[in-house]
């Protein structure tokens, strides 16, 4: 290895020396070495290449064709997975766009239909009169009330300006940017319809002057009617007009809404589909209460309570849904002035003319239903629709009927389900409806406690869509299986139309007013629908068989609950509607044992209040069914001891007093009113629900005044303390579940 290394070294050395200093005569050897070992070449210079594509007759000009070819190359460069994802995304967007287009088209079609219906209604409604004449004089305009006459032109300008400003202002505040233009012009069109309708309905400058009267606060004078034996109607070209004169009277206009004849002094009649068949109606003999009795001490106390509650609402929550009296603010639910609308007929009944006129002005100028908001079908029907219909009947003011029809039309999309069982929620602006977020079911009480209002709306307007929608629900529930001796489960599926959560039966929340409306529909319709009566009587027998028990030690009769065969001694305060409903049924001819049961249950509901330290009932009570030392009949769990200012106890007290004349029910109601004043009254205005009915020192206000406190609780207390049985007579009116009186239909 070493020798070979030396040898290699020597050769290299000789070659190198020959190259550096070639010897003389050694040129051939140097040339040979150069050939064998050429010198390294220098590195080639770095070059950049530009690719140029030449085509005959074509050049890049950013044309669509060029971009299409470029996009196609990029598309081909994508993987198959990427292309599939993009295709699916594109298909999804196309489907969403189509659905959005269909929804928008239906929405604007509905708006156009409503505009045309409004115009038709205003053309016809000038002759429409309520089923019963006003119980107080119609409200005056603001100008008349202040004694400052205005010219017809000024009045017309003011009405147009108010309508335009309120409609456009509300739209600008609520509409998204993209919807402003189309929405604005549709609102302007509606304003045109409204102003034109006002001109046709009452041409300004031609209004007859009415003598001014001094109004005092007192129970209203109601028109009590009895069937008469004469009277004629005429029909010409499908429209009926009054043609006769009576001595000393102006000519009266009669309008037929598909067989429902409405006249200033005429009884109400059930709706009929035979619009063109002439019918003769007995002209009733009016028996008018000439003078209202002066308010007694207790009625005055109710009026003072209402004014105190109204003071807080007017100051801190005007135009909003409900008052927060402690924080002096408000809470919104639907954004429709819920408390104001719910209290309209209460103000009228209590004789609060000034407050009513102010509220009416707000309804006329500010109550707009074209807004993107979800409303609960049941709650909005009984409070808003019921309140508007009731106020129309009491006042004769067509404004409230127009608002009621508009609102009723916006609720109808809730019935667009496979089973015709309505969804719980509907958007009154877009017309979309949906179930609650937590279930696909509706509650039985919700879908079966809107019938009185929709049926009455059909009778007044002649549009049978309202009655047909709720009638289908009634028929469906009537024929369903899953009942237990007339008792129904709490839930019903909107897709299948069948009961769900079978085996649970209660007269409390989610089922209570189903039983109430069975009886009241039968009464409303003139007692001509035996199916309703049969279902009601069967249900009461089921209550007595499965839910009725007696407590210890006082043997109070109470209504419990049944869950899969197991009885629970739990009774909601809501169940205290039942004594009043039983008494109402007995008043209209049902068995006497119904009245007996009503009296015993009324005692129980009173004790649910009396056994609490504040004198106010808890939301839920539990009854002892086994005698135990040191225990009362009624016990309350910490989570159930709140009071929401509910009306059910005083509602039943009103019915029991009307049907029996026993003054003890008035005394019990007076105790409850005093408890409200002691523990729920807020000094700055309003009343607040409380958290603890068992602690009179710290009742813990919940800072909310429910709308039904003005719409129901105080109204029933006022009627309870009146000794005038003709004040909203039970033979003339039927109260909906929110205490709004609607007329009982008379025979044709």
Which residue's entry shows tokens 């335009």?
164
User: Active site includes 468?
Assistant: no
Token representation of residue 595? 């009245």
Catalytic one among 263, 342, 379, 446?
379
Token representation of residue 411? 């609720």
Structural contact between residues 266 and 281, judged by C-beta atoms closer than 8 angstroms: yes
Structural contact between residues 270 and 257, judged by C-beta atoms closer than 8 angstroms: no
User: Active site includes 648?
Assistant: yes
Half-sphere exposure of 441 (CA within 13 A, CB side): 14
User: Active site includes 16?
Assistant: no
Segments in 547-647 forming alpha helices (H): 578-587, 592-610
Strands 491-493 and 499-500, bridge-based pairing = antiparallel
At residue 654, φ and ψ (nearest 5 deg) are -60, -50
Segments in 125-213 forming alpha helices (H): 142-145, 152-174, 180-201
Structural contact between residues 491 and 439, judged by C-beta atoms closer than 8 angstroms: yes
Residue 461 marked in a binding site = no
221 burial (CB, 10 Å; 0-12 / 13-18 / 19+) is middle
Catalytic one among 240, 355, 446, 619?
619
> What CA–CA distance (Å, rounded) separates 309 from 686?
4
DSSP string for 655-673: HHHHHH--THHHHHHHHHH
> What CA–CA distance (Å, rounded) separates 446 from 426?
13
Structural contact between residues 684 and 312, judged by C-beta atoms closer than 8 angstroms: yes
508 burial (CB, 10 Å; 0-12 / 13-18 / 19+) is buried
Strands 255-257 and 329-331, bridge-based pairing = unpaired
Alpha-carbon radius of gyration of the chain: 40
> What CA–CA distance (Å, rounded) separates 191 from 164?
6
CA distances from 506 to 253, 491, 509, 510, 737 (A): 49, 11, 8, 8, 17
Catalytic one among 512, 633, 651, 706?
512
> What CA–CA distance (Å, rounded) separates 622 from 173?
49
Catalytic one among 529, 572, 648, 651?
648
> What CA–CA distance (Å, rounded) separates 382 from 338?
11
> What CA–CA distance (Å, rounded) separates 339 from 707?
4
Token representation of residue 631? 């225990």
Peptide bond into 26 cis (omega under 30): no
442: β partners: 492
User: Active site includes 150?
Assistant: no
Which residue's entry shows tokens 């004040």?
727
Cβ count near 149 (within 10 Å): 10
> What CA–CA distance (Å, rounded) separates 283 from 686?
45
- Say which DSSP state 201 is in: H
- Using CA of residue 307, residue 312, residue 314, residue 317, what is the dihedral sign? negative
Q: According to the 3-state scheme, what is the secondary structure of 484-535?
A: ECCECCCEEECCCCCEECCCEECCCCCCHHHHHHHHHHHHHCCCCCHHHHHH
Buried-state track 203-212, b at ≥16 Cβ within 10 A, e below 16: ebeeeeeeee
Q: Considering only CA atoms, which of 482, 501, 628 is closest in space to residue 569?
A: 628
Strands 634-635 and 620-623, bridge-based pairing = antiparallel
Binding positions for Ca(2+): 737
Binding positions: 737
Question: Which residues are the active-site residues?
Answer: 379, 512, 619, 648
């Amino acid at each position: 290895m070493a020798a070979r290394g030396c040898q290699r070294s020597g050769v290299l050395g000789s070659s190198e020396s020959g190259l550096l200093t070639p010897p003389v005569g050694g040129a051939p050897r140097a040339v040979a070495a150069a050939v064998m070992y050429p010198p390294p070449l220098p590195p080639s210079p770095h070059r950049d290449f530009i690719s140029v594509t030449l085509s005959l007759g074509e050049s890049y000009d950013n044309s669509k064709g060029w971009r299409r070819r470029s996009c196609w190359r990029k598309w081909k460069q994508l993987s198959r997975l990427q292309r599939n994802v993009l295709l699916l995304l594109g298909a999804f967007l196309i489907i969403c766009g189509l659905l959005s287009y269909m929804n928008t088209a239906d929405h604007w079609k509905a708006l156009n239909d409503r505009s045309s219906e409004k115009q038709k209604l205003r053309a016809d409604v000038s002759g429409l009169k309520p089923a019963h004449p006003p119980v107080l004089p119609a409200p005056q305009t603001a100008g008349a009330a202040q004694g400052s006459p205005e010219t017809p032109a000024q009045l017309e300008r003011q009405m147009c300006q108010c309508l335009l400003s309120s409609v456009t202002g509300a739209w600008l505040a609520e509409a998204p940017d993209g919807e402003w233009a189309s929405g604005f012009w549709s609102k302007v069109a509606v304003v045109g319809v409204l102003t034109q309708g006002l001109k046709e309905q009452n041409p300004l400058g031609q209004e007859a002057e009415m003598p001014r009267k001094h109004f005092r606060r007192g129970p209203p004078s109601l028109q009590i009617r009895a069937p008469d034996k004469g009277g004629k109607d005429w029909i010409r070209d499908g429209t009926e007009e009054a043609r006769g004169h009576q001595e000393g009277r102006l000519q009266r206009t009669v309008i037929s809404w598909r067989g429902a004849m409405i006249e200033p002094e005429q009884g109400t009649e059930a709706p009929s589909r035979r619009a063109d068949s002439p019918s003769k109606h007995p002209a009733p003999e009016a028996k008018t209460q000439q003078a209202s009795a002066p308010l007694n001490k207790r009625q005055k106390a109710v009026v003072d309570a209402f004014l105190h509650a109204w003071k807080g609402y007017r100051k801190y929550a005007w135009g909003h849904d409900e008052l927060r009296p402690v924080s002096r603010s408000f809470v919104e639910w639907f954004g429709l002035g819920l408390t104001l609308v719910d209290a309209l007929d209460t103000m009228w009944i209590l004789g609060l003319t000034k407050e009513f006129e102010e509220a009416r002005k707000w309804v006329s100028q500010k109550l707009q239903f074209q807004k993107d908001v979800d409303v609960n079908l049941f709650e909005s029907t009984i409070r808003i629709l019921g309140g508007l219909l009731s106020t129309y009947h009491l006042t004769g003011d067509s404004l409230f009927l127009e608002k009621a029809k508009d609102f009723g039309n916006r609720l109808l999309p809730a019935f667009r389900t496979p089973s015709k069982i309505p969804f719980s929620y509907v958007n009154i602006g877009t017309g979309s409806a949906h179930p609650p977020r937590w279930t696909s079911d509706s509650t039985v009480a919700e879908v079966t406690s809107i019938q009185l209002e929709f049926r009455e709306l059909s009778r007044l307007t002649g549009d049978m869509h309202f009655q047909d929608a709720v009638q289908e629900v009634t028929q469906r529930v009537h024929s369903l299986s899953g009942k237990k001796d007339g008792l129904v489960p709490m839930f019903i599926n909107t897709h299948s139309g069948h009961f769900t959560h079978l085996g649970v039966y209660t007269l409390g929340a989610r089922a209570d007013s189903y039983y109430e409306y069975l009886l009241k529909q039968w009464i409303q319709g003139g007692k001509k629908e035996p199916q309703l009566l049969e279902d009601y009587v069967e249900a009461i027998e089921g209550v007595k068989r499965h839910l009725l028990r007696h407590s210890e030690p006082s043997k109070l009769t109470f209504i419990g609950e049944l869950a899969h065969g197991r009885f629970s001694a739990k009774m909601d305060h809501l169940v205290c509607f039942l004594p009043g409903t039983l008494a109402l049924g007995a008043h209209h001819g049902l068995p006497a044992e119904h009245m007996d049961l009503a009296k015993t249950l009324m005692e129980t509901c009173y004790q649910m209040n009396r056994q609490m330290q504040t004198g106010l009932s808890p939301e839920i009570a539990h009854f002892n069914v086994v005698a135990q030392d040191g225990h009362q009949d009624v016990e309350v769990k910490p989570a159930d001891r709140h009071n929401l200012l509910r009306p059910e106890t005083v509602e039943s007290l009103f019915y029991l007093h009307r049907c029996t004349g026993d003054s003890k029910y008035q005394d019990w109601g007076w105790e409850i009113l005093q408890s409200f004043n002691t523990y729920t009254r807020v000094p700055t205005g309003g009343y607040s629900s409380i958290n603890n009915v068992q602690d009179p020192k710290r009742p813990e206000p919940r800072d909310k005044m429910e709308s039904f406190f003005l719409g129901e609780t105080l109204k029933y207390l006022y009627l309870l303390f009146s000794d005038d049985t003709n004040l909203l007579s039970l033979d003339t009116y039927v109260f909906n579940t929110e205490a709004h009186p609607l007329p009982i239909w008379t025979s044709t």
